[in-house]
Amino acid sequence: MLFNSFLFLLIFLPVTLGVHYLLGALRPRLAALWLCVASIVFYGWWNPQFVVLLGGSIAFNYLVSLVILALAGRPRLQLLATALGVAADLLLLVHYKYFAAMVNFVHDMGLAIGPMDTLILPLGISFFTFTQIGYLLDCRAGTVNDRSPLSYVLFVTFFPHLIAGPILHHKEMMPQFSKRESYRFHSDNLSVGGMLFAIGLAKKVLLADSIAPYADAGFAATGQVQFWGAWAAATSYALQLYFDFSGYSDMALGLARMFGIRFPLNFNSPYKATSIIDFWARWHITLTRYITAYLYYPVAMAVSRWRSRGGLPNGPGAVATANGFASLIVLPTVWAMGLAGIWHGAGLQFLIFGLLHAGYLVVNHAWRIFGNGRKPGAQRGGRLQHVACLLLTFGAVLVAQAFFRADGVADAWQLVQGMAGVRGWESLGNLGHLGGLGLADGWRLLVGHHLQAAYIAAMLAIVWLAPNAHQIMGVYGASLAKPDPAPRPWMRWQPNVGWLLAMLVLLALCLLNLHKETRFLYFQF
């Protein structure tokens, strides 16, 4: 079931909300149980057989968590139980996401095995698996306090985050699911959540789905596009991904708030970032947090302990040396981002995507530590410097996203070559023919009018000049993050008739444009 479907909007959501608050007024635990059932129905609507997989994963991980907690006084056995639980989760993920790709790779090497058709990927398997791995690791770390099985099941299955995140942390969510107040009706939950959901739905239906055909056409013929056509295709996909994932994140936050729950902020205008470090602090924030806590820091700490045993220095002074920088910054960054790339898919192009971002981050850190970035006032430059840093960051992201989107490394490399002008630059008098892409007159808006260029210009203006949903909601924000109100009062949501009409107009426009159900891009991960 999709958020952007008539079934969800007109039947599932109203019924689930109504029963939730009816039961919440009678007995909160029944409301929590109802949310679990509704979430499982939501998940199983696409393919009921995977409900068994989800239920088995939840039961297994909860039992393992109890074993880990029971072995608190026996660290070696506790480590073994944790390792076995995490290994089982990873094997499940590898089976569905990577096994067929590995078999086909071995077959392509000439060995007598395969080929094998790609397995149907259960929706949200990466998200509910990572959520539970984090819970197991925190059980071993002794940071888990709420052990209620009902809260745990709801923590994993709560439908607003189940398919594509955000990746939740038990310390933020399980206490909310245990509070009676979370199940009581409050009108502000519906008004705030409804507005945020409408903004997210508009991003998906009116913006992401509108630019998607141009991105698809460009990536279908990566070997034919020249300079402007390649940049048009890359930018179109970047905007599709931005509004698709930003829209989903807003809808997830809004839906959670309708049920009295606050999610962590997961998307905060990443294309406004002026460095790659800043970009990853804004893009898929909960994934960045997860990568940092469970991939980056463990390796960094292990390296730090190894250096201490060898008598080598640690700390800020150590990273300013070539050896310290390589071991304390480069190694954990390449490890963490390489695995983050592989998490997105089984193809080599996803590994390259992760390693490209690792390289960007290393250069960014090196600039801060060794270059002008460490000089007083270097981070404060004028507006021109700000724009230059923003465009440089955005361009680097576009190159990496070419590998993220393309069907393979060869296609991605062809697009990058086009972006570099290897196949030439379309002249202003012949901007339209992009090698038979079907993107006729693709950048001729510079001298006339073309729909794709108009979409790109309008969407970039929204991305760079308009406040995001978190800023629009301001002090009424639905997330756990600190409020960040829009700079001007008229941009900030208020509980009044004007904003109610704005929400109803957005919803009406979205319903009029729901000609077909389109999946969110992150569903495939």
Catalytic residue set: 344
Buried b (16+ CB within 10 A) or exposed e, 272-297: bbbbbebbbebbbbbbbbbbeebbbe
Whole-number Å distance between alpha carbons of 88 and 62:
13
Beta-carbon contacts of 304 under 8 Å, excluding residues fewer than 6 positions away, are 314, 328
Nearest-10 Cα torsion for 277, 412, 100, 357: -10
Measuring CA to CA, which residue among 70, 37, 62 is closest to residue 51? Answer: 37
Tell me if residue 479 falls in helix, strand or coil: strand
| The two three-digit tokens of residue 54, written as one number | 């989800």
**Cβ(77)–Cβ(64) under 8 Å?**
no
Map tokens 């470090």 to a residue: 277
DSSP 295: I
Q: How many CB atoms lie within 10 A of CB 229?
A: 30
Say how many residues make up the chain. 525
Whole-number Å distance between alpha carbons of 469 and 207:
15
**Cβ(266)–Cβ(166) under 8 Å?**
yes
